[in-house]
Amino acid sequence: MSAIEANACYEPLSNDITFPALLLQKPFYDLQQDRAANYGGFGTVVGHEISHAFDNNGAQFDELGNMKNWWTDEDYAEFNKRVKAEIKLFDGVEVGTSKINGKLTVSENIGDQGGLTVAVAANKQEGGDAKALFENYARFWGTNAKPELWELAAALDVHAFPQARVNVQAQCQEEFYQAFNVKEGDGMWLDPDKRVQVW
């Protein structure tokens, strides 16, 4: 990855994370930016990449990068139950004329959920503005593309569409409902029994 690429990655074989320098500027991170906004930007990216160490792929490797089962049977069964729920949460979500394949995108969706969950928890611990966090999380996923690109992404990309990466993950965070006063019947409402928390 080049230093100016808006990306990051986790490598299970060496158990390391790469963050290009581009992520240390707005909207991801800025010293002059509200701390909650930084959690919604760079904080979610850091949490996302760390979560990859424990997603459906990373969970198969130990801390030394060896493919080894380190889970108890009970914990792994519960984890797999939650992975299936995450697949179901995203499967068939529409963006434009395209639908997300929940199975194809599950590891990235787990990463997104882990990143947003830890950022929300850290922000809450500091008494930060949850609204600023969610607004910046949405801001850095802003995307504009033609339907043909969405169709290609739906077939090949292991990442869900940016709109769903924001909206569906926010719907699983109780703090989102409080920050924006979302009530049952509102467009962003998701019934509590359908909300998924892998971690």
Residues taking part in catalysis: 49, 112
Helices (H), 1-141: 35-38, 44-52, 73-90, 106-125, 130-140
* Buried residues in 22-51 as b, exposed as e (16+ CB within 10 A): ebeeebbbeeebebbbbbbbbbbbbbbbbb
User: Quick one: DSSP state of residue 1?
Assistant: -
Q: Describe the chain by its helix, strand, coil percentages, rounded to 5.
A: 50, 5, 40
Distance CA 98, CA 150 (A): 6
Rounded to whole angstroms, how far apart are CA atoms 21 and 104?
29
Amino acid making up residue 92: G
Kindly give the pairing relationship between strand 98-99 and strand 94-95: antiparallel
